[in-house]
Structure 1
Amino acid sequence: MANYTTLEIVQENPNSAVFFLYLNRPNHRNALSRDFFTEFPRALSSLDQNPDVNVIVLSGAGKHFCAGIDLKTLTSISDQFVSGDRGRAGEKFRREIKELQEAVTAIERCRKPVVASIHGACIGGGVDIVTACDIRYCSKDAFFSVKEVDLAITADLGTLQRLPSIVGYGNALELALTGRTFSSSEAKELGLVSRVFGSREELDNGVRVVAEGIGLKSPLAVRGTKAVLQRSRELNVEQGLDYVATWNSAMLLSDDLSEAVSAQAQKRKPVFAKL
């Protein structure tokens, strides 16, 4: 596997299709450096293209999931655009922001499901990241904040676009305008996370069980479910039904379907080909 300065990829069990992707700057509470935005989409792409990978668990090394964007990174980016032609600087700055956005959107572009395992701080850019994930779990000690407004920034990496559909428009607006810290229990109440575990150890074990379960399912069906749900956010019901009909006309009649039916009849676990 490739070496990264801000990330680590771990396959804990050589017989498992679950791979763990760690934000790996624990001494900086996994704050997002400029290197992260280059490495993260590259790491996701490598996992996406790896046929041995069925599920990706995204977690943070050390005591926190992610403390947001590294302030040194923020300063270095802004310092690039303080002089020269304002129009050209603005156009270049917009391209820079779009590149950072693409790094987070890489989670959605990944065909494999990405499960966020959140403990400790999940602040600013950390919220951007987890709102792009497919499933979110956290430990009891987790806390969250859409912090950008306190840094005089309009959050621009995805939280303002994704959070409303997860927690509701009014809740998202309140969290984004106040920048307040909210707890794991409130995150569960809002629907930001699906479950809260009592400790980091319980979180790790619980997420592993869920991920392993998904990893044993048909890769084609899992891929299709993620793709259709994402597309359906932009479509009305009729359009969404048309989209899934087109999808299944291409994907449904597969060896996975035959294997699933045979396994059910024979009361055994199905074994699917790699994707």
Structure 2
Amino acid sequence: MSYSCFTLDIAEGVAHLRFSRPDKFNSFIPEFWRELPEAVNDISDNAKARVIVLSAEGKHFTAGMDISVFMSGGLDAPPDNREAAAEALRYQVKELQATFSALENARQPVLAAIQGGAVGAGVDLASACDCRYASADAFFCVQETAIGMTADVGTFPRLVKIIPEGWARQMAYTAERVPAAKAKEIGLVNEVYDTHEALLEGVMEIAGQIAAHSPLAVSGCKQMINYSRDHSTEDALDYIALWNAGMLRPDDIKESYMAKSEKRAPKFDDLKPVKKSL
């Protein structure tokens, strides 16, 4: 299937989704908010890949929300119907939020390869990914503050759990640009690469390492990390015990040891597609 905002290629267990509007700095137009969850949910539900990589063409990863989204959002509601318009806008915002939650909810890990700017909603997107990597020229900016609004599609509930709270507050209050080196120092990105080419090469190598492992075990890791982030240690320990009681696959463990002894790459079954009731 073709998309208007990005290209999608799947090979060797890796789904590579590349933003493809470099002339517009890969800003998120209305179509993007429909297409991204559609593509990610399809990969996740139908087990079409073992890992997802997000990257972008051009100078910048993304300039964030395109102005066309704001113009279609009911910001200029008539004064005599402001409350009803606000109630409807809340649901529109929740729909936008669901776009990035699809990345977090995907069964597969999602890796972001970020060059140039990740601005505004680009930070919301990046914070919903499992891991972030950057080129040396990359920078991150919670731009919403500078244009008179509070970021609302995912930055705050996720960013404060990725980096120190003080830095999340500073980024939000000042709308300053945080360069790649500082982003790595505070834990926003895992690694910084010298060039765009080195960035993509490095991230695809990491994606390949992930894809070589048991998809069931990797998916379990993602589920446990997300659950542990939002629950107490006691609850998380109980959940992982329950998970392994039902999902531990002895055949994958045996295959790992056999492959090692036979000096070959292990072979694991993919995840099963999710059967939708409707």
**TM-score range relative to shorter protein:** over 0.9
Listed as ranges, the matches of 1:122-133 within 5 Å are 122-133=118-129
Q: Answer yes or no: is the 8 Å Cα contact 2:17–2:54 preserved in 1.
A: yes
Deviations 1:146-166 (A, max 9, x none): 111011111001111111111
Aligned residues between the structures: 271
| TM superposition shift of 1:181 | 0.8
Aligned-partner Cα distance in 1 for 2:261–2:236: 32
Q: Given residue 179 of structure 2, which amino acid in structure 1 is its aligned partner?
A: S
Q: Does residue 1:216 correspond to 2:212, yes or no? A: yes
Residue 106 of structure 1, aligned match among 102, 108, 129: 102
Instruction: Please state whether the residue corresponding to 1:56 is helix, strand or coil.
Output: strand
Q: Answer yes or no: is the 8 Å Cα contact 1:119–1:141 preserved in 2.
A: yes
Aligned-partner Cα distance in 1 for 2:65–2:80: 26
Residue 235 of structure 1, aligned match among 228, 231, 234: 231
Change (3 A) 1:82 1:120: farther
Residue 45 of structure 1, aligned match among 17, 41, 48: 41
Instruction: Please state whether the residue corresponding to 2:97 is helix, strand or coil.
Output: helix
Map of 1:8 onto structure 2: 7
Structure 1 residue runs without a partner (length 5+): none
Aligned-partner Cα distance in 1 for 2:263–2:18: 37
Q: Given residue 114 of structure 1, which amino acid in structure 2 is its aligned partner?
A: V
Residue 120 of structure 1, aligned match among 90, 94, 116: 116
TM value normalised by structure 2: 0.94
Map of 2:74 onto structure 1: 78
| TM superposition shift of 1:254 | 4.0
Runs ≥4 residues deviating over 6 A = none
Listed as ranges, the matches of 1:1-275 within 5 Å are 2-11=1-10, 14=11, 16-79=12-75, 81-82=77-78, 85-275=81-271
Moved more, 50-59 or 260-269: 260-269
Moved more, 220-229 or 262-271: 262-271
Aligned-partner Cα distance in 1 for 2:81–2:48: 49
| TM superposition shift of 1:232 | 0.5
Moved more, 102-111 or 252-261: 252-261
Aligned-partner Cα distance in 1 for 2:231–2:211: 28
| TM superposition shift of 1:269 | 1.8
Instruction: Let me know the Cα RMSD of the aligned residues.
Output: 1.4
Instruction: Please state whether the residue corresponding to 1:22 is helix, strand or coil.
Output: strand
| TM superposition shift of 1:114 | 0.4
Change (3 A) 1:83 1:35: farther
Aligned-partner Cα distance in 2 for 1:49–1:149: 36
Aligned-partner Cα distance in 1 for 2:104–2:256: 27
Q: Answer yes or no: is the 8 Å Cα contact 1:148–1:155 preserved in 2.
A: yes
| TM superposition shift of 1:52 | 3.9
Instruction: Please state whether the residue corresponding to 2:33 is helix, strand or coil.
Output: helix
Q: Answer yes or no: is the 8 Å Cα contact 2:51–2:110 preserved in 1.
A: yes
Q: Answer yes or no: is the 8 Å Cα contact 2:74–2:85 preserved in 1.
A: no
| TM superposition shift of 1:169 | 1.0
